[in-house]
Structure 1
Amino acid sequence: MADTPPLKIVSGNALSDVQKKDLLHRLARIEGQLRGVQKLIAKAEHPDDCDGIAQQMSAARKALDRSFVTLLTNSLVTHAEKAGTVEESIESSKRVAALLEKFV
């Protein structure tokens, strides 16, 4: 399988370039973990193999959960920093709170 070229980071107001790079790096590591899990599943021969597979799947899931929290934290910080007024900051916080309620 050929490696995909790195994604072009577009500057904007959602996240800083550094935050985007960090999240993309985290996701690339998780992608690698998942590829490893796929290989483990393909090569599983004995019932004991499932323990190692489950452990790796759990690690990937936890890493994805941490990435999700990082995304929300970065979003909250970025929007609070860019808010021109207290009202804008409150609205930004409400959007992040709504995301938490929706996805957690």
Structure 2
Amino acid sequence: MADTPPLKIVPGNALSDAQKKDLMHRLARIEGQLRGVQKLIAKADTADDCEGIAQQMSAARKALDRSFVTLLTDSVVTQAEKAKTTAEAIEGSKRLAALLEKFA
């Protein structure tokens, strides 16, 4: 499989460019972990191999959870910094609280 070119960071109001780069870097590492898990599964020979696979899957899941928290934390910070009024800041906080309620 050929390597895909890096995604272009598009400036916006949701996250800063640095925050986007950090999240994309985290996800690329997780992608690498998952590819490693796939290889472990393909080569699994004994029942003992499943423990190592489970350990790597758990690590990838935790890394994805940390990325989720980073996304929401970064979003809170960015929206608070960009809010022009207290009402805008409160509205942004409510949207993020709804995301936590829905996905956490």
Q: Which TM class, normalised by the smaller chain length? A: over 0.9
The runs of 4+ residues in structure 1 deviating greater than 3 Å are none
Aligned to 1:8: 8
* 1:34 maps onto 2:3 in alignment: no
Aligned to 1:95: 95
AA aligned to 1:99 is L
The CA distance in 2 between the partners of 1:99 and 1:7, in whole Å, is: 25
RMSD: 0.4
Aligned to 1:73: 73
The CA distance in 1 between the partners of 2:47 and 2:22, in whole Å, is: 37
**Structure 1: which 5+ residue stretches go unaligned?**
none
The CA distance in 1 between the partners of 2:96 and 2:59, in whole Å, is: 25
Q: TM-score, structure 2 length as denominator? A: 0.99
Q: SS in structure 1 opposite 2:76? A: helix
The CA distance in 1 between the partners of 2:92 and 2:17, in whole Å, is: 19
AA aligned to 2:45 is E
Q: Deviations over 1:4-37 (max 9, x none)?
A: 1100000010100000000000000000000000
The CA distance in 2 between the partners of 1:3 and 1:64, in whole Å, is: 22
Percent sequence identity over aligned pairs? 84
Q: SS in structure 1 opposite 2:11? A: coil
**Structure 2: which 5+ residue stretches go unaligned?**
none
Aligned to 1:60: 60
Q: CA deviation at 1:75?
A: 0.3
* 1:50 maps onto 2:50 in alignment: yes
